[in-house]
Amino acid sequence: MLVVLADMIYACSPGLYKPTQEQANASGVSLEELQNGRELYVAHCNSCHTLYYPKQFNEAKWKENLDEMQSKAEISNREKELILQYLLNND
């Protein structure tokens, strides 16, 4: 059952950008942090609703959304920051 759920989660995420070293260099955030942010976003946010594309909201709205959803998604402040970094560094 867990394997099936994991497959479903990742099947829904191909449209999301995958961070590159170039994006990491431009953002000042490590590639590993951007990748971790993506993994956290897919794993935690997709468990309750359809994922939004990073460019669907501006920085202020993403911060508001993450603040609102943090307790529901049961993510730490650090995890929230990694997700935000992923969502904002998508050019």
Report whether pLDDT(90) > 60: yes
Find all residues with CB under 8 Å of 40, minimum gap 6, and list them. Answer: 75, 79, 82, 83, 86
Res. 46: pLDDT tops 60:
yes
Q: How far is CA 31 from the centre of its chain?
A: 13
Write down how long the chain is.
91
Total domains in the chain come to: 1
How much of the chain exceeds pLDDT 90, in percent?
A: 75
Tell me what the pLDDT averaged over the chain comes to.
87
Print the domain residue range for 9: 2-88
Average pLDDT over residues 44-64: 93
Instruction: Output the six-digit token pair for 55.
Output: 């460019």
Q: Which residues contact 57 (CB under 8 A, 6 or more apart)?
A: 65, 87
The yes-or-no verdict on residue 18 having pLDDT over 90 is: yes
Please give the C-alpha separations between residue 42 and each of 14, 20, 25, in angstroms, as whole numbers: 10, 17, 23
Whether 2 shows a pLDDT value over 90: the answer reads: no
pLDDT for the residue 54: 93
